Structure formats: C-alpha cells, structure tokens
C-alpha cells in the first residue's frame, strides 16, 4: 500500500485497512491520495492516479460534491461488468488542513431488485398525485404544526388563490389575514382527533371542512388531511340538475331540438308521468290542423299548452288569438267572435268590425272556457268547424277563413250535454283530440322544482335573494293547491315579498298551508266527554312528536319541522317517554 502524503496515515488505522468495503480519498483536483486494499483489489484504484481513469462516473460525482459541499444521495456505480457499488461521499481534513473527499463504496443491491423497488415507488407516487389533484373536493395536507405542505387544484378554485400563496404558511397566519374564519386543520392538530367545521369564505361563500389527523407507528401526529366542499356551489348544482332532469324527462327522444329549447325557455316543468304524457300529446298534435280540446281544472296551465301547440305548428308565424269565453257578456260574445256589420246593433261601430276569427286568419284561435258559450254562439262555432266559414252579425255574406281552433274548459262537457247546456255535435267536433292537463295535486313529482323555480323567479324580479328551509319545502309540497299552478305562483310571490329575512321559514307560510301540513289530523275531532282539554292537548302533542320522530333522524330535524327549539323537543320527548 502506498501514500501520496505521509500524514494521511492518521486517516487509515488498522481497521480501515482490514475493511472489506472499498475506501478511497481524493483531493480537490480529483487525484487519489489514499486507498485501502479493498479499493485497490476490487476497483483497481491506485494512489496518485486521477480518479476519472478507473471510475469516471464516481469522479464526476466527487467533483460536484467538492464544489457544492452539500450532502448528496447515494449513487450507484459499476466498473466494467462487476457488481454495482453505492458511493457514499463525505469531507475530511488532512493533518495539513487540506480538504479531501472520502468515498465509501459498499455493495449496492442487485439491479433488478433496486429497479423494481424504484419503479414501484414512482408508480405509487404518481398514483397518489393523480388522486389528490383529480379530486373534486378541495384537499389540504398540513404537517403536525398546521403548516400547509400540499394544496390540490380544487382548493385553489374554491379559495380563488394559487397554491404557492398557501403552501408553507401556518393556518394561524392564514386566519389572521382573513383567508378563512376558522381552521379545522389547526383544531385537529391541537385536539389530535377528527374535526368538522362550517367555514365562511371572504367572498360570502360557505364550505364544509373535515380535518383528519394521521399518526405514525409510534402514535405521533405527522400529518393532517383536510377535505373541503363548497356547499353554496353544491346547492346551485342541485338546482341546475333538477332543471336538466325535468327537461330530459319531458322530451327525451320525443321532440326536436327546437321544441326542447322552447319548452325550457317557457319553464314547463314536468317530472310526473301524467304531465309528461300531456306534453307529449301536445307536441304530437302540433303538426296537425285538427281541433284540440284541452281539459283540466282552473289554473293548471291550459293556456301554456295552447301556446306550445301554436309555437310548434306550421302556423307559428301567424297570430294566436286568445279569447276567454266566460269573460265576455253573453250579448256581445257573437259579435266579438264573428264580427258585425254597420248598424247590426245599438252602439255598433259605424264601419263594422271584424271578429276574432277574421283576425286569427291563417293562425290559431284559442277559446278558453268554451263551456261558457251561449247556445246561439255554439251553433255558429259548429258551422265554422264544419265548413270553415263565418257570417258577421247583420250580414248574410259568408267569409272563408283559415283558422285552427283550440278549446279549453274545466267543466264536464259530457254532463253539460246531458243537461242540454252544450251541444252534442259541437262537443264531438271539439273533442277530436282531447288533452288532459293534470292538477298540481296530481303532479307530486313536479312540486318541488315548481316551488324552487317560482321562488327564484320572483326573488330575481324583486332583486332580493330568498331561500326555503327544508321544513318549509315539506309544508309547501304537502299542500293540495286547489288553485293549481296559479295559486302556487301567488303563494311563492307572497312569500318572496312578505318574508323579512333571506330564509323563508314555516312561520312565513299562509295559514291554509300550515293547517294542511298537519297531516293525519282530522277536521272533526271526536273526544270522549270525560277527556279534559289538557288531556286532549297532550294526546295531540304526543302523536305529533311520534310522527316527527319517525320521519326525522335527530332532535334538530324534529325541532325545525315543528317550529320550536331543540331543547323543547328534548324536554317533551323525555316527558312522554319517547327517547
């Protein structure tokens, strides 16, 4: 064994010479100044030779290490076809103060095993990154001290801030600067348990944040993972989903793209099968010229169905004239429909006047409440349906007009025919294609989307945001709406205008809705004469609590539904042994 400098003997005591692992030292120029026997035999390293000659890859690493003086990860080197070595580099000082690089070269794991482990590690790392970054929920990863070390793209979108402005910051500092009002990660790092919080964002939004602590094998806290979700965005997405589902249910594979867009713009909300059936029938008859009789209670939207038929017909470019036959005096109905000539009756216009049939030429005439037509007008309407001609009052001249007739009524025409107040032949002429529009109480699946739509509609008109509590929605959905959609619209407008807060609660509802929501309560309660008022009240109260307990999962839900405090519910449940 040889030495380039004598004082390097201090670096090579006996046990280093006996070491089976190669060991060598280089100066700053990369020249080998010391080798142990293992390095000479296994690597053919000789003192005084430049390290780049036997081991060029190691020489490159030593050069980088000596220039930076920073620790470097182990690297694998080989010499020829021999076994691989791990190069462990460190700095030592000679007795003369010269800086040397010490290279320890233990055997490296076999390449297949090492490569497979590295591939598995890289695959796992990529998978974890993909899971975190693709999550639709926001994800924060903090260390044990609530310092942010990772933020995924969903959290950047929720907070409208890039990750670079959050990573490395402590949650206490972020709270102080108004980033959030409270931190689930901070509380979880202190309490060492999962924490769920409702947090307020600076822009007015709200989010649910759940922090989960992560512990190592010794039970020490090492990470806090926070999952967060913007609940204001979820509410908006839910409403959009309801609108899209309503459109798909109504017209999937049934209408052209133009018809779908029209019904969406008119907000014809159809989730119930009977309403979907009525709209499909209206769509199908739109392309024909047959008379249509639209049946249904007042306020169900018969006029909207007539609009839909007209818009999707070949007559859509021509007028749709609407006449409410019940709103015109009987003495004037014929003149209004068929027109009149000069001097036809006292007070007539000197030049005469065309009727609604003439004004609707090449278009559609919608006769709402057709059952209110007097028999004299029924005769003239029947004649037009048979030959397409009309005669003005005070004239004998027949006029040919091209008009499609749509009629609507809430009355039972067959019963009127039996009573002699409606002509049988006219009934058959009008009833070529009947369409029944169901009442609101028959469209239970449509109720919640209808209520949400009209609340939002009137809130936008009045420029005041409004929301409904779950109990309010349940009460509105449980009402029978004898006035149908018209009554539903009026109630929604009243709630928007009259409620004092943004949140519309049960107390804001009209009395008839609150009364009807007491399901299962008969109007005429029959109690034994021996029962006192207090006993009757307690019986009713207990029954209400039983039904509410069966319907809602917790005391908070029962309290919200019954309009009282949660503490009141707890006390009464205990009183009646219902806990």
Q: Express each pLDDT in 274-302 by its tens digit.
A: 888 999 999 899 988 999 999 998 889 89
In this prediction, residue 233 carries a pLDDT of 65
| Mean pLDDT in residue range 511-524 | 60
Cβ contacts of 265 within 8 Å, gap of 6 or more: none
Cβ contacts of 45 within 8 Å, gap of 6 or more: 22, 24, 32, 35, 39, 51, 54, 55
pLDDT band at residue 265, thresholds of 50, 70 and 90?
very low
In this prediction, residue 150 carries a pLDDT of 87
In this prediction, residue 251 carries a pLDDT of 43
Is 327's pLDDT higher than 70? Answer: yes
Most confident of 3-7, 71-75, 492-496: 492-496
Q: Which 3 state secondary structure label does DSSP give 421? A: coil
pLDDT band at residue 32, thresholds of 50, 70 and 90?
very high
Give the other-Cβ count within 10 Å of 337's Cβ: 24
pLDDT band at residue 460, thresholds of 50, 70 and 90?
very high
Most confident of 121-125, 158-162, 232-236, 415-419: 415-419
In this prediction, residue 285 carries a pLDDT of 93
In this prediction, residue 239 carries a pLDDT of 67
In this prediction, residue 526 carries a pLDDT of 53
| Cα distances (Å, whole numbers) of residue 374 to 283, 326, 412, 414 | 31, 10, 16, 16
Each residue of 94-138: pLDDT tens digit? 777 788 888 988 887 665 555 667 677 777 778 877 888 888 888
In this prediction, residue 66 carries a pLDDT of 76
Is 247's pLDDT higher than 90? Answer: no
| More confidently predicted of 27 and 349 | 27
Kind plus residue range of the DSSP H or E element containing 309: helix 302-311
The fold of 446-516 is Helicase, Ruva Protein; domain 3 (1.10.8)
| Mean pLDDT in residue range 367-385 | 91
| Range with the poorest average pLDDT among 153-162, 239-248, 350-359, 534-543 | 239-248
Kind plus residue range of the DSSP H or E element containing 77: strand 75-77
In this prediction, residue 490 carries a pLDDT of 92
What does pTM read for this prediction?
0.47
| Mean pLDDT in residue range 1-10 | 45
| More confidently predicted of 497 and 527 | 497
Is 500's pLDDT higher than 50? Answer: yes
In this prediction, residue 214 carries a pLDDT of 92
In this prediction, residue 364 carries a pLDDT of 92
Closest-CA residue to 262 (of 300, 220, 308): 308
Q: How would you classify residue 252: left for phi > 0, otherwise alpha for psi between -120 and 50, otherwise beta?
A: beta
| More confidently predicted of 194 and 64 | 194
Is 335's pLDDT higher than 80? Answer: yes
Is 19's pLDDT higher than 60? Answer: yes
| Range with the poorest average pLDDT among 125-129, 172-176, 421-425 | 125-129
The fold of 253-436 is Rossmann fold (3.40.50)
The percent of residues in the chain predicted with pLDDT above 70, rounded, is: 84
pLDDT band at residue 57, thresholds of 50, 70 and 90?
confident
In this prediction, residue 13 carries a pLDDT of 62
pLDDT band at residue 68, thresholds of 50, 70 and 90?
low
| Residue 321 β-bridge partners | 365
| Mean pLDDT in residue range 400-417 | 92
pLDDT band at residue 516, thresholds of 50, 70 and 90?
low
pLDDT band at residue 520, thresholds of 50, 70 and 90?
very low
CATH number of this structure's domain 6-110: 3.30.450.20
In this prediction, residue 202 carries a pLDDT of 78
| Residue 197 β-bridge partners | 209
pLDDT band at residue 260, thresholds of 50, 70 and 90?
very low
Give me the architecture of the 128-231 domain, per CATH.
2-Layer Sandwich (3.30)
In this prediction, residue 253 carries a pLDDT of 39
| Cα distances (Å, whole numbers) of residue 11 to 29, 313, 507 | 19, 102, 90
Side by side, the strands of the sheet bearing 23-26 are 32-35, 23-26, 99-104, 85-93, 75-77
| Mean pLDDT in residue range 526-531 | 56
Q: Which 3 state secondary structure label does DSSP give 404? A: strand
| Mean pLDDT in residue range 363-388 | 91
In this prediction, residue 373 carries a pLDDT of 92
The torsion of the CA quartet 97, 98, 101, 103, rounded to 10 degrees, works out to -80
Calculate the average pLDDT of the chain: 82
């Amino acid at each position: 064994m040889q030495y380039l400098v004598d004082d390097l003997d201090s670096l090579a005591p006996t046990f280093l010479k006996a070491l089976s692992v190669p060991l060598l030292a280089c100066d700053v120029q990369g020249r080998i100044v010391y080798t142990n026997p293992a390095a000479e035999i296994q690597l053919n390293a000789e003192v005084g030779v430049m390290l780049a000659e036997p081991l060029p890859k190691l020489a490159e690493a030593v050069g980088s290490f000596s220039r930076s003086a920073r620790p470097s990860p182990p690297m694998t080197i080989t010499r020829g076809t021999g076994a691989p070595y791990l190069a462990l580099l460190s700095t030592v000082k000679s007795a003369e103060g010269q800086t040397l690089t010490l290279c320890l070269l233990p055997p490296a794991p076999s390449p297949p095993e090492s490569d497979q482990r590295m591939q598995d590690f890289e695959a796992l790392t990529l998978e974890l990154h993909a899971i975190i970054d693709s999550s639709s929920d926001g994800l924060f990863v903090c260390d044990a001290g609530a310092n942010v070390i990772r933020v995924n793209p969903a959290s950047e979108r929720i907070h409208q801030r890039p990750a670079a402005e959050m990573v490395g910051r402590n949650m206490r500092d972020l709270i102080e600067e108004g980033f959030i009002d409270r931190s689930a990660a901070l509380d979880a790092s202190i309490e060492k348990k999962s924490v769920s919080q409702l947090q307020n964002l600076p822009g007015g939004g709200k989010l649910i944040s759940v922090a989960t602590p992560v512990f190592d094998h010794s039970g020490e806290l090492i990470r806090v993972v926070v999952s967060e979700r913007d609940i204001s965005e979820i509410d908006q997405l839910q409403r959009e989903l309801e609108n899209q589902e309503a459109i798909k249910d109504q017209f999937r594979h049934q209408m052209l793209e133009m018809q779908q867009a029209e019904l969406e713009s008119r907000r014809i909300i159809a989730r119930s099968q009977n309403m979907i059936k009525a709209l499909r029938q209206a769509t199908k008859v739109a392309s024909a010229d047959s008379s249509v009789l639209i049946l249904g209670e007042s306020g169900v939207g018969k006029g909207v169905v007539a609009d839909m038929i007209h818009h999707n017909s070949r007559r859509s470019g021509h007028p749709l004239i609407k006449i409410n036959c019940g709103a015109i005096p009987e003495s004037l109905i014929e003149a209004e429909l068929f027109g009149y000539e000069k001097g036809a009756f006292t007070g007539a216009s000197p030049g005469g006047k065309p009727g609604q049939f003439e004004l609707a030429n090449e278009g559609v005439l919608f006769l709402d409440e057709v059952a209110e037509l007097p028999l004299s007008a029924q005769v003239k309407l029947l004649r037009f349906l048979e030959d397409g001609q009309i005669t003005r009052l005070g004239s004998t001249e027949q006029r040919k007009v091209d008009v499609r007739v749509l009629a609507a009524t809430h009355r039972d025409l067959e019963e009127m025919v039996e009573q002699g107040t409606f002509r049988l032949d006219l009934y058959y002429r009008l009833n070529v294609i009947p369409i029944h529009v169901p009442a609101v109480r028959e469209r239970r699946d449509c109720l919640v989307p209808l209520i949400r739509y009209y609340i939002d509609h009137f809130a936008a008109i009045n420029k005041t945001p409004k929301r409904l509590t779950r109990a309010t929605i349940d009460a509105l959905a449980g009402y029978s709406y004898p006035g149908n959609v018209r009554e539903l619209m009026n109630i929604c407008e009243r709630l928007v205008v009259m409620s004092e807060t943004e949140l519309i609660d049960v107390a804001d509802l009209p009395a008839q809705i609150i009364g009807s929501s007491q399901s299962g309560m008969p109007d005429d309660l029959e109690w034994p004469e021996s029962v006192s008022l207090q006993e009757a009240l307690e019986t009713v109260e207990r029954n209400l609590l039983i039904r509410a307990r069966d319907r809602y999962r917790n005391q908070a839900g029962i309290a919200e539904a019954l309009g009282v405090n949660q503490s009141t519910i707890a006390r009464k449940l205990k009183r009646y042994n219902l806990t």
